[in-house]
Structure 1
Amino acid sequence: MVTYVHTYIQTCMHRCVRACVPTYIHTYIHTYIHTYIHTYIHTYIHTNTHTHTHTHTHTHTHTHTHTHTHTNTHTHTHTHTHTHTYIHTYIHTYLHTYIHTYTHTHTHIHTYIHTYILVLSMPMSTNLLPSV
């Protein structure tokens, strides 16, 4: 009975590792990274481009009434175009960090699963069973 249960657990674990884990990880990577890139970066590019393409026009009029009247009108037009570099740096830094962390976690998961299977596949000692 013990051997049967043990074999059953082991088979299930092996199936799970072979079938579920890779699919799960792939789905996770695809869904998460794609959603992240689409939502966040698209929103970010949109807002950033909108924010940075504003033209500021300041008109200063100073009127001094001491025999002379001076009217100065200054028009400043600032257009910022440092969006691309920033976004590229951001994507590279963030995604690289993310992939790095994820890969490390992935390795840990694999190590954990393998260790767990090894423990399960060890022959069970009858001495460990409580005496009836």
Structure 2
Amino acid sequence: MLAYIHTCIHTYIHTYIHTYIHTYIHTYIHTYIHTYIHTYIHTYIHTYIHTYIHTYIHTYIHTYIHTYIHTYINTYIHTYIHTYIHTCTYIIHTYIHTYIHTYIHTYIHTYIHTYIHTYIHTYIHTYIHTYIHTYILYLSAIYIYNIYIHIYIYRQTQTYIYYNTIHTYIHTCIHVHTYIHTHHLRHVSAYIYIYIYIYIYRQTQM
């Protein structure tokens, strides 16, 4: 009898209740609730919210904000800032060409052409033509004096070696004079030394 009761109860539990759980409830969960989730909520997410994002918000971004950026801000940049840049550029450019350029051409240019140029042509040029010219003439006088001395020695001794010394002195004088002096005076000095050669030749017959 006890075994029969145990069999009936166990059968009832495994058959009715288990069937109820696996059939009705499980079916309910997998059919109704799962369908609800996949149909209603999922459809809601993909239809309403997704449509909302792609339609309203996306349209808002591409229409209002995008238009705002391309119309207002872009116009602002190209109109106000561009005008500002061109105005500032014009002011700066005008400043450069008026004030700085005038400064360069007036003050500095005048300074260069007046003070420095005058300094070069007055002081330095005078220095070159006075001091160096005097120095060259002084050297020339010394060399010419030495030439006359060697001519005198040659006449007195009739020694050929003194003529070579004279020749060396003349060439030394020419080289010094050519190195230091100006182009014009080199031509003048060349004629002087030619006459000296002629004079030496006539005096010594060498």
Report the TM-score when normalising by structure 1: 0.41
Structure of greater relative contact order (alpha carbons < 8 Å, 6+ residues apart):
1
Structure showing the higher helix proportion among its residues: 2
